[in-house]
């Protein structure tokens, strides 16, 4: 498989994980749209939100809670975004979520 995020997950390409658990890992976005812009990526390959398994998806809120606490934005707030297919803005076809925070976000869009 030639998926960049799978290569990160399998440690074929080194990347600094901000946080991880059995289903997800988090890394800094290389083109941040906010002071804190983290990608939350599934360790297993799912093309998009419509393909993810229930067990993985049900563990996402706990991962986000723990990550936001680690980043110190659990109280101030944050935004979670996922994109699906080209019209939705998806550029890498491996399920991932954008966590943005660190300022008042207003109309910011990823």
Catalytically active residues, by annotation = 96
CA distance 42 to 79: 18
Instruction: Give the pair of three-digit tokens for residue 84.
Output: 């699906």
Q: How many residues does the chain have?
A: 110
> In 1-110, which ranges are E strands?
19-20, 24-28, 36-42, 78-81, 96-101
């Amino acid at each position: 498989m030639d998926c960049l995020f799978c290569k990160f997950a399998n440690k074929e390409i080194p990347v600094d994980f901000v946080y991880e658990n059995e289903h997800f890992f988090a890394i800094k976005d290389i083109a941040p749209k906010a002071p804190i812009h983290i990608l939350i990526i599934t360790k297993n390959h799912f093309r998009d939100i419509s393909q993810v398994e229930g067990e993985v998806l049900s563990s996402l809120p706990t991962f986000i809670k723990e990550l936001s606490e680690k980043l110190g934005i659990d109280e101030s707030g944050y935004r979670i975004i996922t994109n699906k297919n080209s019209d939705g803005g998806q550029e890498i076809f491996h399920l991932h979520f954008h966590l943005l925070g660190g300022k008042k976000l207003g109309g910011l869009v990823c």
